[in-house]
Amino acid sequence: MFTSVSVREPTGQAPVTPLLDRDHSILAFNERVLDWACRAEVPLMERLRYLCIVSSNLDEFFEVRAEPHVAAQRAGDRQGAYTTESFAALATAANVLVSRQYALYNDELMPAFEKQGIRIVSHGDRNAAQRRWVKRYFEQEVRPLLLPVGLDPSHPFPQVANKSLNFIVRLGGLDAFGRDNDIAIVKVPRVLPRLIRMPEAISGRHRLFVSLSSVIRAHLGELFPGREVGQFSQFRLTRHSELSVDEDDVKNLRTALRQGLQHRHYGQAVRLEVSAGCSEYLSRFLLQQFELPEQALYRVHGPVNLVRLTQLIDLVNSPQLCFSPHQPCYPTQIAPGLSLFEQLKQGDIVIHQPFESFDGVLEFLREAVHDPQVLAIKQTIYRAGSDSALMDLLREAVRRGKEVMVVVELKARFDEEANINWAEMLESIGAQVVYGVVGLKTHAKMMLITRREGKQLRRYGHLSTGNYNLKTTRLYTDISHLTSDTSLTADMANIFVHLAGQSRLARMNDVWMAPFHLHRKLIQKIDFIGDAASRGQSGRIVAKMNALTDEALIESLIRAGQKGVRIDLIVRGACILPPQVQGFTDNIRVRSVIGRFLEHTRVFYFRSGDTEDLYLSSADWMNRNMMRRVELAWPIKDPAQRQRIVDECLVAYLHDDVDAWDMLPDGQYVRVIPENRRLAHGAQAALVSRYSGRNNSEKARA
């Protein structure tokens, strides 16, 4: 699927360059993730984990991206960005991906698990002893929590929560009042585990499990005494889940968001999943009930929620079926046992996560909390998770009498509740908590420490491409940058003043900030490289990010490429710029790297002649990041640090022939195949190997 944007050439002509469809590009990304689940060389539990990741990604895709397409189908729209045609194309592509998932689950993964003595036993395959145990489990643990609802005028269709497990049943015979109401709904509580391990006494040497859906399915008849259970199916509804709060019309954003969270589970229906054997009668009934078109129906050959199968990984607990544990080394630029403030006076420190540990950042904050000369700590929080050692340190800083100011982004998608709870906790103990700027998400990641040194105050800062979430620091590739550079820290101080007081932003020294400068500065930098190339200078741009969908930035890249600049784009997810289209993007190449760790670094490299600049950023090249978020991009000034980031974050990925995919002009991706498998280079594997020899022994001795 293509959209169009006009890119004007120097001649004054305005040919139309076709751009790729963003939603289809997101689905294509998930195809690349699913490829990991298909690889026989990947440990079995990790294959299952990738399968579940795709399902989780698809859930979020439908929750966030599908509603306009569904609305267009309902309205019969034939023109505009969202139409009946766009809905049909998207539904077809999603169905193909879902079908691949379940074929992999049934035909490859489950047989492979059986060879390992691990089995999810269906009702038809259970022996008598197993059936007796399942019946006892149903009676003791499940049935007391189920409340079947027979539908009639006084019992309308119950509210079905987003992504919850439910059963629909068609009943024969008459109810207790002599009526022939034939439809009943059974809502399955979320508190019940979706997988249950059977005891060893009836499993033997095998590890046998039963799914909750099969337990309920086997005993549906017992929920409707006196009625005959005919047709039935499990079903799961996905709802539009973007929180919609008019920030200009609320007095307390935190209160409004907390109220909005209560309604998120009951937004507009966008997708209906049912068992493959669900009858036409029941599926039509459900589609009508939720006002969904036929193509919003997904018939699946297995559990309607593959995401919950991640429980199997913990239940089995077989390390030999998982990746070898990765133990990040302590940051190589940090001397254990020495003050980080003193080390930063000698130069900046760069930490490449997760190959190096986030412990260096925690140590930076811990030292600040316990140092009596530290007067103030300021920090942004976008995603911190529900259990955070970092938050405990901030709480301790308040207890020790330091000025703590935290900018908490309450609208971080699907982390709203955790962030609200952190905000309330910090406020309750005396920290200053602000929520950024109305209408903008504060996506920037920064921490600023103010310390008294003699008669002066000196600032120390942390800037990052990733979040202050201890779990994701072990799973995402990111760069943390610790600095005492006076220009950078002065910019950070001005940004905190702006976010807290919403005063006019002071003139920046080095930092580019969205929504004020970042978009314009990037376009100016790209155009500068292009203009220099048109005068005969060599030009080079390499940019690594998670998504590229901003049309103005794409136009500038196309212009620069047409002027002779060689451009490599390493884009993990959605990218709507088609590379190597003859006459338009000949000099632009696009690749995606999908590995064991989630690629998350944003690195932008620009070279004109002998002059080169490197920026790290919190921002992807999307319109929302440039116009509707507080984002930062900042330079790496030290040549040695800059070269290290170029080597590890750009060059290594451009030479990857293990986990890389190259995009073709039509938007399709082809996996890069090494010419010599013995010499194959995987960027992530190489970085793991490089840092694995640098363990924490020095820190342990300190």
DSSP string of 495-512, one letter each residue: HHHHHHH-PPPPPPSS-E
Tokens for 87, please give them: 């809905």
Residue with tokens 């969205």: 514
468 φ/ψ angles, rounded to the nearest 5 degrees: -90, 55
Tokens for 189, please give them: 């509580």
Give the C-alpha separation, 186 to 218, whole Å: 13
For the question of residue 443 being annotated catalytic, the response is yes
Residue with tokens 């269906």: 122
Which residue from 600, 608, 581 is spatially nearest to 477, judged by alpha carbons? Answer: 600
Which residue from 690, 577, 699 is spatially nearest to 644, judged by alpha carbons? Answer: 690
Q: Rounded to 10 degrees, what is the CA torsion of 86, 87, 93, 97? A: 150
Q: What is the largest CA-CA distance in the chain?
A: 90
Answer whether 492's CB lies under 8 Å from 461's CB.
yes
Tokens for 5, please give them: 């944007």
Q: Is 495 exposed, middle or buried (0-12, 13-18, 19+ CB in 10 A)?
A: buried
Tokens for 13, please give them: 């002509």
Give the C-alpha separation, 165 to 189, whole Å: 8
- Tell me the torsion sign for CA atoms 335, 341, 347, 349: positive
Answer whether 575's CB lies under 8 Å from 551's CB.
no
Q: How far is CA 523 from the centre of its chain?
A: 27
The residue from 443, 481, 498, 519 that is catalytic is 443
Phi-psi region of 385 (alpha: psi -120 to 50; beta: other; left: phi over 0): left
Which residue from 365, 362, 396, 571 is spatially nearest to 474, judged by alpha carbons? Answer: 362
Q: Hey, is 163 helix, strand or coil?
A: coil
β-bridge mates for residue 460, sequence order: 449
β-bridge mates for residue 542, sequence order: 568, 605
Q: In angstroms, what CA-CA distances link 63 with 98, 269, 414?
A: 16, 9, 11
Residue with tokens 């991706």: 669
Query: Which amino acid belongs to residue 161?
Result: A
What burial letters (b/e) apply to 633-657, b meaning 16+ CB within 10 Å?
bbbbeeeebbebbbebbbebbeebb
Q: N- to C-terminal Cα distance for the chain?
A: 59
Residue with tokens 């490299």: 605
Q: Hey, is 582 helix, strand or coil?
A: coil
Residues labelled as active-site residues:
443
